[in-house]
Amino acid sequence: MFLIAYLFTSAGISIIITQGNIFERTRSLIEKISPFFGEAISCPMCVGFWVGIFLALLGVSPAHVYLFPFIESTAISNKAIYYFMYFLDGPISSMLSWGFYNLIDFLQKKHIYDLLDKDNMLAD
């Protein structure tokens, strides 16, 4: 259940920042100032990474929930690995955000395709 909540939280924040109308002016301003950061703030995978780091710093960490009990039971448990696990939350969130974004994109395209097909607009 935690992973599902984490998925919707991290992907939701990432998609709102990268695609939402509420951040459109901010994205445009950042793009004018720096094309590199403008492209990065429009990328669900890039923003997802930083959302994961931010959530980890807030204490919401799937790496600690799912991986730490395993690592804690082994001989390699130490403080460096404990803190490194915070970094793992960035790629986890990035992957989940990218996957969720592509799922939404696929469903929207399929819906549009189905509407066009229903109206026989795709007939030769």
Q: In the prediction, which pLDDT does 121 show?
A: 56
Instruction: Provide the sign of the torsion angle of the four alpha carbons 53, 54, 57, 60, taken in this order.
Output: negative
| pLDDT value of residue 38 | 87
Q: What residue spans define the domains of the chain?
A: 2-118
Structure tokens at 100: 């969720």
* Tens-place pLDDT, residues 73-94: 565 556 677 777 778 888 888 9
Residues in the chain with pLDDT values less than 50: 124
Q: What's the predicted TM-score (pTM) here?
A: 0.74
How far is residue 91 from each of residues 34, 74, 79, 122, measured CA to CA in Å? 24, 23, 20, 40
What's residue 72's pLDDT?
A: 60
Which pLDDT score is estimated for 51? 92
Measured distance CA(67)–CA(79) in Å, rounded:
14
Going by the DSSP 8-state scheme, the letter that residue 67 receives in this structure is: I
Per-residue pLDDT at 120: 59
